[in-house]
A and B are shown apart, each in its own frame.
Chain A
Amino acid sequence: MKFKKWLGLIVLFLFTLCAESKSVHVAVAANFSNTMKSLVKEFEKTSDYQIALSFGSSGKFYAQIKQGAPYELFFSADQAKPDALEKDGLVIANSRFTYAIGRLALWSARPDFVNKIETKLKQGAFNKLALANPKLAPYGAAALEVLTSLALIDTTQSNWVMGENIAQTYQFVSSGNADLGFIALSQLLGKNTLQQGSYWLVPNIMHHPIKQDVVLLRSAKKNQGAKAFLDFMQTNRAQHIIAEYGYLASNSLNVEHEL
């Protein structure tokens, strides 16, 4: 009688263990969050694996992974952090590849800035210019390169406000506190995003390509789900979604597709 009572609990417990092993923990750089949600939706249509997403800045994830955070996959906003993790021996060999190349956009939520974004920047006709901290975020570093190539560093510097990542930079502009902001194009595109204002797509030649790498972490050695998701990332289907959100083609599959 007593045993029967416990049996239910034990079965429940075993069940949760099974459910646990089916899920994949994925750390995702903030700029890729919209895109990743669409990708996961697509992936889960045809797969039993559950993807548990965490969004944040790559630097924080790097620190957490070094201290044993239980992520199986890490989608960084740059190449430096996956590279460092590789050197730390925390990555499964040969798992790293570039999943997306980011595009930088200068965005304004002000209706009267439509079609005038580039001019407004060059004239200095704005209150604040938001950018992600160049020291921390690759999109911030790219923004700095653009300002350098336009010779606008000295004239605009006193009007900079810096977000600690690209999501916060977006917030500064969307709340109307900054007239202009350098953000990721992917934050503005995609089906579910409500558009405000307008943007200037910064020409690629004005900054180094924002290559974003993914790695399979050592804790994923036995996790088939993580591998399945990584394979999915290289399919045409996934690459199509990534391109839809404004990223450039990254792997050979997509290069063929583009040609």
Chain B
Amino acid sequence: MSLTDGDMATIWLTLRLATTVTILLLIFATPVAWWLATTKSWFKGPMSAIVALPLVLPPTVLGFYLLLAMGPNGAIGQFTQALGLGTLPFTFWGLVVASMVYSLPFVVQPIQNSIEAIGNRPLEAAATLGAGPIDRFFTVVLPLAKPGFMTATILGFAHTVGEFGIVLMIGGSIPGETRVVSVQIYDHVEALEYAQAHALSGVMIVFSFVVLLMLYTFQRKRKAVGMTYGR
């Protein structure tokens, strides 16, 4: 088991990517989850389906469409170019956007489940005590839905680390920018460097096991509703 400098660089890049994606997703997914948990709109069904699409679609499909959409002729590409940001494929931020799409359901759904589990009564009680909507969110919803947020954080992070198909499609394997651990393992296997592939894969297996162990130990302690995700 020996990791080269190149391998270490991919590990750091992967951790940086997963952290960035998780933080951004928590900010972005919370309002979505809140809306899905509380709305009575007819659009709830279609919206839930859109959020869940990445669960079903093969990453190659997502990757291919993101490559086209974020390219110079695609809608997202034209938008980012108009902003003077250039195009996103082959950049770290391109991977961030793609990973956010890919990991979206893993963050939205646990949060949504735990908000739904709170129900209306605590919120109504808070309202009668004079708490406004924002106050209610931070003093009632956030503490009560904390297990859901924990699950969302762990799953979002772990799922981004395990991402491969999309990164391969839009990454371009640039060291320090888009070459993450999963791509590096793939490259090692393709280049017949099986010993190095083993070493890095071993790290991934240990990491994944520890993350899932954390998740399930945490769930057992909490026995919280809406935490059965992934069982």
Assuming the A-B contacts A161-B90, A162-B174, A177-B67, are A60 and B190 also in contact, with contact meaning beta carbons closer than 8 angstroms in the complex? yes
Nearest to B64 among chain A residues (CB) is: A171
Residues of B within 8 A of A59 (CB): 189-192
* Chain B 58-73: CB-based contact to A (< 8 A → 1; otherwise 0): 0000001001101111
Nearest to B183 among chain A residues (CB) is: A164
Interface residues of A in 41-81 (CB under 8 A from B): 57, 59-60, 62-63
How many Cβ-Cβ contacts under 8 Å join chain A to chain B?
63
On whether the beta carbons of A160 and B71 are closer than 8 Å, the reply is: no
* Chain A 194-231: CB-based contact to B (< 8 A → 1; otherwise 0): 00000000000000000000000000000000000000
| Complex Cα gap A63–B186 (Å) | 11
Min CB distance A225 to B, Å, is: 29
Q: Does B162 contact A (CB under 8 A)?
A: no
Q: Does B135 contact A (CB under 8 A)?
A: no
Binds B, one of A2-10, A32-40, A128-136, A247-255: A128-136
On whether the beta carbons of B189 and A63 are closer than 8 Å, the reply is: yes
Interface residues of A in 170-208 (CB under 8 A from B): 171-172, 175-177
Assuming the A-B contacts A161-B174, A164-B168, are A175 and B67 also in contact, with contact meaning beta carbons closer than 8 angstroms in the complex? yes
Which of A84, A162, A163, A171 contacts B192, CB < 8 Å?
Answer: A84
Residues of B within 8 A of A84 (CB): 192
Residues of B within 8 A of A135 (CB): 187, 190-191
On whether the beta carbons of A133 and B173 are closer than 8 Å, the reply is: yes
Nearest to A179 among chain B residues (CB) is: B72
| Complex Cα gap A63–B174 (Å) | 24
Q: Does B122 contact A (CB under 8 A)?
A: no
Chain B, interface size category, equals 20 to 34
Assuming the A-B contacts A164-B173, A171-B67, are A176 and B72 also in contact, with contact meaning beta carbons closer than 8 angstroms in the complex? yes
On whether the beta carbons of A62 and B192 are closer than 8 Å, the reply is: yes
Q: Does B226 contact A (CB under 8 A)?
A: no
| Complex Cα gap A171–B87 (Å) | 16
| Complex Cα gap A161–B189 (Å) | 20
Which of A57, A63, A172, A176 contacts B172, CB < 8 Å?
Answer: A172
Q: Does B105 contact A (CB under 8 A)?
A: no
Assuming the A-B contacts A161-B174, A163-B172, are A136 and B190 also in contact, with contact meaning beta carbons closer than 8 angstroms in the complex? yes
| Complex Cα gap A62–B70 (Å) | 34
Min CB distance A140 to B, Å, is: 11
Interface residues of B in 165-183 (CB under 8 A from A): 168-169, 172-174, 183
Residues of A within 8 A of B191 (CB): 59, 135-136
On whether the beta carbons of A57 and B190 are closer than 8 Å, the reply is: yes
| Complex Cα gap A252–B54 (Å) | 52
* Chain B 64-90: CB-based contact to A (< 8 A → 1; otherwise 0): 100110111100000000000001011
Interface residues of A in 82-120 (CB under 8 A from B): 84
On whether the beta carbons of B71 and A176 are closer than 8 Å, the reply is: yes
On whether the beta carbons of A133 and B67 are closer than 8 Å, the reply is: no
Residues of B within 8 A of A160 (CB): 172, 174
4 pairs of A and B residues whose beta carbons are closest in the complex:
A161-B172, A59-B190, A162-B173, A136-B190
Q: 12 extra interchain contacts, Cβ-Cβ under 8 A, other than A60-B190, A128-B90, A160-B172?
A: A59-B191, A136-B191, A162-B172, A164-B173, A171-B169, A172-B67, A175-B68, A176-B72, A176-B73, A177-B67, A177-B70, A177-B89
